[in-house]
């Protein structure tokens, strides 16, 4: 049975309502959980973490949703005012943040692959710009999460069997994975070194831009 959003007269102080114009009178689009399809809820749950931005392909890989189904779901969520397009992907709107419901984390735990200290003064945004949207070996770009504590960049394997997170907190970078089998862990390690090499290039470029210190006589 098709789910339909109901149009009703304005009701004050409803966080999940969106005002729309209809003729001479403003009406309110009331979004209820019953109006959402299965994929809609999964997308909202994925985007529910504060600061999340996921590309179209990234959502496909994380949720394993067919391209056409995802396109329809995102279009539906945009029309409902729950999701909006950002410069680097999709994110929840203010209404979507109020609508999305917290879900417990599922799946395998993460293990640390690499941890490194950033020895030169470089803004985290510079490293983020060098990594966003990039593929490394068999790792495909998924999305970016920005929070008060720093950035988290996410990739998945080409067969979506495991994920890799890069977390930037203060002056440290941590790369971790939920790979389980020895083969997956090896692939994750190879991919993580590709990410590390890209970061090293950014740092080398920054060092090359420093003024040369005069030699002491």
Same structural domain, 53 and 73: yes
Q: What is the pLDDT of residue 94?
A: 80
CA dihedral 33, 35, 40, 46 (to 10 degrees): -20
**Which of 43, 66, 99 lies at the terminal end of a domain, its last residue?**
99
pLDDT tens, residue by residue, 98-135: 766 543 445 567 888 988 888 767 788 888 889 999 99
Q: ∠ CA(12), CA(3), CA(104), 5° rounding? A: 75
Q: What is the pLDDT of residue 196?
A: 92
pLDDT tens, residue by residue, 8-54: 333 344 444 444 433 433 333 444 444 566 678 788 878 886 567 88
**Which of 99, 127, 155 lies at the terminal end of a domain, its last residue?**
99
Distance CA 213, CA 204 (A): 17
What's the predicted TM-score (pTM) here?
0.54
| Residue that is written with structure tokens 């799946």 in the block | 107
Q: Is position 215 within any domain?
A: no
| Residue that is written with structure tokens 């862990």 in the block | 185
Average pLDDT over residues 174-187: 90
Q: Is position 92 within any domain?
A: yes
Distance CA 20, CA 36 (A): 19
| pLDDT(3) > 50 | no
Domain of residue 87: give its range: 6-99
Tokens of 172: 């440290």
Q: What is the pLDDT of residue 23?
A: 41
Instruction: Classify burial at 33, counting beta carbons within 10 Å of its beta carbon; exposed 0-12, middle 13-18, buried 19 or more.
Output: exposed
Burial track 13-23 (b if 16+ CB lie within 10 A, e otherwise): eeebbbeeeee
Gyration radius from the chain CA atoms = 21
Q: What is the pLDDT of residue 190?
A: 92
| pLDDT(82) > 90 | no
Q: What is the pLDDT of residue 213?
A: 54
- Alpha helical stretches, state H, the chain: 38-47, 56-63, 67-79, 94-99, 124-131, 182-208
CATH code at 200? 3.30.160
Distance CA 97, CA 65 (A): 22
**Which of 59, 79, 99 lies at the terminal end of a domain, its last residue?**
99
Structural domains counted in the chain: 2
Same structural domain, 87 and 128: no
Per-residue confidence at 169, pLDDT binned at 50, 70, 90? confident
Q: Phi first, then psi: what are they for 116, rounded to 5°?
A: -140, 150
Same structural domain, 125 and 48: no
3-state helix, strand, coil in the chain (%, to 5): 35, 30, 35
| pLDDT(160) > 60 | yes
Same structural domain, 62 and 117: no
Same structural domain, 28 and 74: yes
**Higher per-residue confidence, 42 vs 170:** 42
């Amino acid at each position: 049975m098709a789910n339909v959003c109901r149009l009703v007269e304005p009701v004050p102080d409803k966080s999940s309502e969106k005002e729309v114009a209809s003729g001479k009178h403003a009406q309110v689009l009331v979004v209820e959980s019953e109006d959402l399809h299965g994929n809609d809820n999964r997308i909202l749950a994925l985007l529910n973490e504060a600061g999340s931005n996921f590309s179209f392909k990234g959502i496909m890989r994380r949720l394993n949703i067919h391209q056409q189904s995802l396109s329809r779901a995102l279009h539906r969520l945009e029309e409902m005012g729950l999701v909006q397009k950002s410069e680097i992907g999709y994110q929840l709107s203010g209404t979507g943040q109020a609508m999305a419901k917290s879900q417990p984390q599922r799946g395998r735990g993460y293990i640390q692959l690499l941890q490194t200290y950033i020895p030169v003064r470089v803004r985290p945004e510079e490293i983020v710009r060098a990594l966003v949207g990039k593929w490394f070996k068999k790792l495909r770009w998924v999305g970016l999460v920005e929070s008060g504590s720093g950035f988290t960049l996410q990739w998945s394997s080409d067969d979506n069997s495991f994920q890799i997170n890069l977390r930037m907190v203060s002056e440290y970078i941590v790369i971790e994975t939920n790979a389980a089998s020895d083969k997956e862990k090896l692939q994750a390690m190879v991919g993580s070194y590709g990410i590390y090499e890209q970061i090293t290039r950014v740092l080398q470029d920054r060092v090359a831009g420093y003024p040369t210190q005069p030699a002491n006589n």
